[in-house]
Amino acid sequence: MILGVLAVAGTPDNAVVRLADSFGIQTELLVAQMINFCLVSYLLYRFAIKPVLKTIEERKSKIAEGLKYTEDMKAQLASAEQERLNTLAKAQKEAQALLAKTKADCELYTREQTKATEAKMARLLEQSQNALVTERAQLLSEVRHETASLAVAATEKLLSSILTDDMRQKLNQKAATLLAEKEEHGTQA
C-alpha cells in the first residue's frame, strides 16, 4: 500500500517520497524483506513449531488419557471394594443362614435319632421281654413235662407191682389225658 502511495505520490519533491528516501525505503528491499520473513516464518512453522505443537497435543492427550485411566481405576477400585463388601455381607448372611439351618437340622436330626433310638430300645426291650416270656414258658413246659414223666415213671413202677396190665393201661390213658389238659391250661396261663 505504501508502495502504491509512493508510486502515485508524483514528483520527487513530494513529502512522502522524501520521507521514504530519508529512511532508505526501497521497493526491492521491502519485497526482499517480505519474502525473507515469509520464508523464515514458513520454515520455522513447518520444521519447528508444528512438530512441537503436535508433540504438545500428543502429550496433552496422553496426560488426559492417563488421568482418565486413573479416574477409571479409582472408580473400578471403589466399585470392587463395594462389591467385596457386598459379597462379604452376602456371604456372612448366607453363612449365618446356613449355620442356623444346620443348627435346626442338627436339632431335628438329634431329635429324630433320639426318637429312633428310643423306639429301637423299646423294640429291643419288647423283643427281650417276649423272648424271656417265651423262654420261661418253654422252660415251664419242659419242667412240667419232666415232672410228668417222672411222675408217670414212678407211678408206673409203683403200679406195675400192684396193677394188672389192663388196669395199668386204663390208668395210663387217664393220666395222659389229664396231663395233656394241664399242659394246655398251663400254656394258656
Partner 1 sequence: MYQWGIIVLACLLSGNAYAGVAVSPKPYVLYRIGHFPITNGMLYTWIISAAIIILMRLFIKNPQMVPNKRQLVVEGIIESIYSLVEPIVGKRVMGQAFPLLIGFFIYILIQNWSSLLPGVGTIGFYQGNHFTYFFRPSNADLNATLALAAIAMLAWGYFVVKNEGLKGTLLHIFGNKADRSELSFGIYTFLFFIFLAVGFIECISILFRLISLSFRLYGNVFGGENLINNIMALAPWAKFLVPIPFYFLEILIGAVQAFVFTLLVAVYIGSICNHEEAHE
- Closer residue to partner 1, CB minimum distance, 4 or 166: 4
Min separation Cβ 24 and partner 1, Å: 3
Q: How many residues does the chain have?
A: 189
Give yes or no for residue 29 binding partner 1 (CB under 8 A).
Answer: yes
Residues 8-27 that bind partner 1 (CB under 8 A): 22-26
Q: Which amino acid is at 79?
A: S
**3-state helix, strand and coil shares in percent for the chain, rounded to the nearest 5:** 95, 0, 5
Q: What is the Cα–Cα distance from 76 to 82, expressed in whole angstroms?
A: 10
Q: What is the Cα–Cα distance from 103 to 26, expressed in whole angstroms?
A: 109
Give yes or no for residue 150 binding partner 1 (CB under 8 A).
Answer: no
Give the x-and-dash track for 59-98 against partner 1 (CB under 8 A): x--x------------------------------------
Q: What is the Cα–Cα distance from 64 to 70, expressed in whole angstroms?
A: 10
Give yes or no for residue 106 binding partner 1 (CB under 8 A).
Answer: no
In this chain, which of 1, 8, 15, 189 binds partner 1, going by CB under 8 A? 1
Distances in Å between the Cα of 60 and the Cα atoms of 53, 55, 72, 92 are: 10, 8, 18, 47
DSSP classification of residue 49: I
In this chain, which of 7, 10, 18, 47 binds partner 1, going by CB under 8 A? 47
- Closer residue to partner 1, CB minimum distance, 55 or 114: 55
Return residues touching partner 1 (CB under 8 A).
1-2, 22-26, 28-34, 36-45, 47-56, 58-59, 62
